[in-house]
Structure 1
Amino acid sequence: MNQRAALARIRLNPDSRAVERDLHDATQMHRTLMRLVPDGLGDSARLRSGLLYRLDITEDATTLLVQAASPLDGQGLPAGYGHMEVKDLSPMFTALRPGLGVRYRIAVNPVKRERLPLEQKNQRGKVIPLAGPEADQWWTRRATEAGLHLNSLLPTPLEPARRRGRDAAPLRHSLVRYDGTATVTDPETLTTALLSGIGRGKPYGAGLLTLAPAAAA
């Protein structure tokens, strides 16, 4: 399966006002990152570009990982936003095979749909965030469907994605990061999941699955 995608690592500048704004407003972050992909993609630009992102925070740095099937051009970022490096993911897709051991990381928005009584069968229930064992079960099921057998998982609750602004509609997407090891079971299905992302909340920092060789752990 011949697929192309690029992954950018942006080490954010903590002194940038644009960075500070984006870290507190998921909608603004999404708008900033969409400036990395080509113009003219239409109303479904994120979907067409395949843009996914994740915010990784450590004691030393705050890093944005941005993946897209379209070319990523750092010239679209605000001045002084951060240092960006881009790599081609084609070798990773080529290396995927059944039985391959990998380390993974993903931030997800695990949810379920509320069940309604029969008299409301034509209505849709509320979307309910999951936490704890229910969220772990959700990720295990979605990973299996994506062509991964999980050998381990470590959940880390993250700050919810939020939107700011006086006139903005409220937004609060719960996020959980999972780290662990896994075995590839279906490379083709896994490639599709890597390119399209997993779960809800993709415009707000959820769904980007990254892999590394397990031997590098």
Structure 2
Amino acid sequence: MLYRLDTDHGDAVLRVQTTASLLIHTLPADYAHAVAVERISWSEDGIKGQRVRFLVDANATKTIRKAGQRGKRVPLQAQEMIAWWERQACQAGLATVAVCNHPLRPVIAGRAMSNPISLQATRFEGVAVVTDPAALQRAVLSGIGRGRAYGLGLLCVNPAGADSPGTAATAALTSPDAGHRSHGILARCTGHPL
């Protein structure tokens, strides 16, 4: 399961993508004032070479190793961010046409809040061309980078001329036609302001 917490006109918006069934009916009555569930199918037909808009909040890191010691993950410096995204995009079947990035608030993570860790979060968004539809499907299903358990890594894509890519993961690359593999479920819960 991948998720991301956004805001839309002052409302908190929780985006969830999963291949499992969502039990929306079990949410408390006042949990959200709008819940949208979209079943997504995947078709690789005709999307190679398609221009898409993308958006992902990610934890861009690198490992520093010292001889004889275990590596330590450290956040990237500003000048390293675009190169990191280019590597991730290539693995995800995308050739970046244009990208911008900006830092987000750190994500506080950890099982014991007495010893929390802080994950650097960066939003990457832009335009790319699909070079490998199968790799893109894997990236959409499994996410990008580290910190996925903490709301990072959900890759959203839409056609380059569509609305914001954060509105529906893979909307440009999906079709409800029969014969296409089931991709999963995307839920959008709009709730109270953060």
Q: Distance in 1 between matches of 2:112 and 2:159?
A: 45
Aligned length: 162
Q: Which of residues 93, 104, 114 in structure 2 aligns to 1:147? A: 93
The structure where strand makes up a greater share of residues is 2
Identify the residue that residue 65 of structure 2 maps to in structure 1. 115
Q: What are the ranges of 5 or more consecutive residues in structure 1 without an aligned counterpart?
A: 1-50
8 Å CA contact 2:109–2:150 kept in 1: the answer is no
Identify the residue that residue 187 of structure 1 maps to in structure 2. 133
Q: Distance in 1 between matches of 2:21 and 2:96?
A: 31
Q: Distance in 1 between matches of 2:138 and 2:156?
A: 13
3-state SS in 1 of match to 2:98: coil
> How far off its partner does 1:164 sit?
8.5
> How far off its partner does 1:95 sit?
5.6
Pair 1:183–1:162, CA change in 2 (3 A): same
How does 1:95-174 map onto structure 2 within 5 Å? Answer: 97-116=47-66, 118=67, 120=68, 123-163=69-109, 168-174=114-120
Q: Distance in 2 between matches of 1:77 and 1:172?
A: 29
The TM-score normalised by the length of structure 2 is 0.76
Q: Distance in 2 between matches of 1:150 and 1:139?
A: 9
The structure where helix makes up a greater share of residues is 1
User: In structure 1, what residue type is equivalent to 2:82?
Assistant: D
Q: What are the ranges of 5 or more consecutive residues in structure 2 without an aligned counterpart?
A: 164-194
Pair 1:166–1:216, CA change in 2 (3 A): closer
Q: Distance in 2 between matches of 1:95 and 1:73?
A: 31
Q: Which of residues 50, 57, 65 in structure 1 aligns to 2:7? A: 57
3-state SS in 1 of match to 2:161: helix
User: In structure 1, what residue type is equivalent to 2:133?
Assistant: P
C-alpha RMSD of the superposition = 2.1
> How far off its partner does 1:90 sit?
0.7
The TM-score normalised by the length of structure 1 is 0.68
Q: Distance in 1 between matches of 2:99 and 2:39?
A: 27
How does 1:38-77 map onto structure 2 within 5 Å? Answer: 51-77=1-27
Identify the residue that residue 147 of structure 2 maps to in structure 1. 201
Q: Which of residues 18, 35, 47 in structure 2 aligns to 1:84? A: 35
> How far off its partner does 1:167 sit?
5.4
How does 1:17-56 map onto structure 2 within 5 Å? Answer: 51-56=1-6
> How far off its partner does 1:99 sit?
0.3
Q: Distance in 2 between matches of 1:188 and 1:115?
A: 33
Q: Distance in 1 between matches of 2:109 and 2:36?
A: 28
Q: Distance in 2 between matches of 1:179 and 1:143?
A: 11
Pair 1:79–1:169, CA change in 2 (3 A): farther
> How far off its partner does 1:71 sit?
1.3
